[in-house]
Amino acid sequence: MFTKGDKILDKSLPKIGEKSLFTEELEQALGEGSLDFVVHSLKDLPTILPAGMALGALLKREDPRDAVVMSKKFKEKTLSTLPKGSVIGTSSLRRTAQLARNLPHLKVENIRGNLNTRLKKLDDEKSAYAAIVLAAAGLKRIGWKDRISQIMEPEEALYAVGQGALGVECRESDWETRSLLEPLYDMETTLKCVCERSFLKTLGGGCSAPVAVASSLEGEELKITGAVWSLDGQTLIKDTCKGKLFIPKDDGEPPRKCPYQEPRLYCGVVPGRMNALSLHGAEQLGKDLANNLIEKNAIDVMLEARNTIANSK
């Protein structure tokens, strides 16, 4: 199936519109009952799902970081050592803002299309691109790890909410499918991504504003860094929050559930076999981080970015 985001390739994503670009047609089929579940790249999935829909599982996350693919003529270079004025291709406002702030000697231009299309544009002998920036997860999953010239650490570039993770969406009331999906849950991925999605949901962000995160889980301590930029990267609002979660030892038995109470969703994620206290803690940590940024006027920065994009359509 092809979605709106797949079909419209001559415009940047924010100029098309920010909601459900890669999910709307799939979710419609899911709601009609012609599909039982849909596998999404989690970063494409809005933090608020349509009524009656839920994430039945989050699979083990691949590398969430960004990757640089250099053109052949610059294969020995890194972004920082590229000549002044070199053109970098990306369709992401988040990447554009961070590149503008951290590597102002580079020129960023929009590039759209699937992975094959973008790499073909880069490899063309007449290509103006010195490099393109992509999600490392996509390159690794398709078996093209050897095309990666540079991995961008979170200190260099924070990544998109949910990047590298796969989410399986189903009907919330479809208990048979939910029970089939339960064994696919990855605890660490779910806790990190619930926290990240809670952060974005509280901010009210989408692809029309540069917002990014990095999260880690060490033992029971979950840590998340989040940031908001102006479109030109000159304004940055950033903070970090961390907290201890209640993570019970895995004894092979799923946590007990109250038979009289329907478990709630956590940013669209069903608890499955996971402990609700852990999920609640992850969700709250994301909210706390977002509220810290909101106190520093993050909403104003995001509104300015959205208005600029809306006026340029």
Can you list the domains of the chain with their CATH numbers? 4-63+161-311 (3.30.160.40), 66-151 (3.40.190.10)
Q: What ranges make up the beta strands (E) of 31-116?
A: 37-41, 53-58, 66-70, 87-89, 107-109
- The CA distances from residue 284 to 118, 163, 198, 270, 310, in Å, are 38, 20, 7, 16, 32
The pLDDT tens digits for 149-206 are: 999 999 999 999 999 999 999 999 999 999 999 999 999 999 999 999 999 999 986 6
CB under 8 Å to 33, separation ≥6 — which residues? none
Q: Which residues of the chain are under the pLDDT cut of 70?
A: 2-22, 205-207, 249-263, 313
Q: Which run of H or of E encompasses 150?
A: strand 150-152
Q: What is the mean pLDDT of the chain?
A: 89
Q: How many angstroms separate the CA atoms of 12 and 17, rounded?
A: 9
- The CA distances from residue 276 to 183, 246, 272, 293, 297, in Å, are 16, 9, 9, 26, 32
Phi, psi of 70 (to 5 degrees): -85, 150
Which residue shows structure tokens 């250099």?
70
**So what's the pLDDT on residue 259?**
43
**So what's the pLDDT on residue 247?**
81
Q: What is the DSSP letter of 23?
A: T
Which residues carry out catalysis? 44
**So what's the pLDDT on residue 4?**
57
3-state percent helix, strand, coil for the chain, nearest multiple of 5: 35, 20, 40
pTM exceeding the 0.85 threshold for the entire prediction: yes
**So what's the pLDDT on residue 260?**
40
Selection from 155, 175, 143 nearest residue 56 by Cα: 175
